[in-house]
Amino acid sequence: MSSRINRREFVKTGAAAAAAIAAVPATVFGQAPAVVTRAARPLVVSAANGNHYKNGGPVTGVEKAFQMISQGSDVLDALVAGVNIVELDPDESSVGYGGLPNADGVVQLDSCCMHGPKKRAGGVGALEGVRTPSLVAKAVADLTDHHLIVGKGAQEFARGVGFKIEDDLNTEKSRKAWLEWKRRTDPDHYLDPAKRQQAGLLATLQMAREGLIEYEHVFGTINCDGLNARGEICGVTTTSGLAFKIPGRLGDSPILGAGLYVDNEVGAAGSTGRGEANLYGLCSFMIVENMRRGMHPKDAGMDILQRIRKNTIEKRLLDEAGNPNFDINFYVLNAKGEYAGVSFRPSTYAICTENGPQTLPTEAMLPLRPRT
């Protein structure tokens, strides 16, 4: 038999050899690939305020993020640009500029971001004077070896890397709400700390019932997670925290595993609502772990809501039926592009796909509780 091959056979043999080499893991040749990519359908999932506020512009936060992802921007850059719209909108009183202040009338902001492909995260807590804490959180991830910087240190870091520091982030709306809250709680000069705390919460909820502040903004936040066509996943959460909180209080939003968690091979989850309930179980992390075990985003989130329900045993946190008297929502997506919004009580969340932005009802565990 002749050992010579013709040109067609040579091309077929070379193609087969190239395919075989491509199938060998890069680690065989001494270098692992930086990112394992996979085809996916671009998607943005967010708290409902991500498809409501526009800050005077033509698009909402989820629209902005999806547009940038579709045009090839880094996923985290796109998500942060999306939540910046919400942070900067003075009408949104649970996030950024004009967020409801703490008990001393000072706006303190928290944020966290995670970049799935780069395995990098950053956060800031009790940050004063910067309208866009999500950008400062991203700077922590990009420019330092740390995850979380808080208080005065967070402000000095922001100043040092070029952010403008403002004396006061209150708007006329947020300051008016704080003054009304002070009027309702301070005149009695409570000496019993427990009664003082209860009076503050009751005043806040009464103001919400009267329409002076939005009920959703008492615990309001925005979480926004996204997936691009290469299967890269990122997330960001940003908030002004609990309305009229104790100065310096941090909730779940800036904490990895609580307010946000991302694993590029699995998915992402983030939250809004009562941060202390979420912190107790690092629930966003647990939702992602549920998806790692094969659970659908909806089932992964509902399972963790059930855990929070079981762990809520203090009478002050229970309603007349023995269920949690607070709200908590989770926004979840997986690496396949499946997603869900889940909550204790009926609520809404936002998505944006190639079909445009939508506000959808969450999967709720409990019936709507009258706010009387």
Report the residue count for the chain. 372
In sequence order, the 6+-apart residues with CB closer than 8 A to the CB of 22 are none
Residues 137 and 113 sit within 8 Å (Cβ to Cβ): yes
In sequence order, the 6+-apart residues with CB closer than 8 A to the CB of 79 are 44, 65, 113, 224, 225, 226, 234, 235, 236
Could you say which of 185, 204, 221, 312 is catalytic?
221
Neighbours of 247 (CB within 10 A): 13
Q: Which of 318, 316, 295, 315 is nearest to 366 (CA)?
A: 318
Neighbours of 5 (CB within 10 A): 11
Residues 287 and 300 sit within 8 Å (Cβ to Cβ): yes
> What is the DSSP track for 252-271?
STTSBTTTEEEETTTEEEEE
In angstroms, what CA-CA distances link 73 with 50, 68, 110, 171, 356?
19, 5, 25, 32, 18
Which strands make up the sheet holding 43-47, listed edge to edge?
148-150, 120-127, 109-115, 233-239, 222-227, 43-47, 348-353, 356-361
- Tell me the C-alpha distance between 196 and 11, whole Å: 82
Burial 85-116 (b: 16+ CB within 10 A, else e): bbbbbbebbbbbbbbbbbbebbbbbbbbbbbb
HSE at residue 368, side-chain half, CA atoms within 13 A, is 8
CA gyration radius for the chain? 23
Active site residue 144: no
Residue at token pair 């709680």: 185
Instruction: Give the angle subtended at the CA of 90 by the CAs of 246 and 184, to the nearest 5°.
Output: 40
Catalytic residues: 221
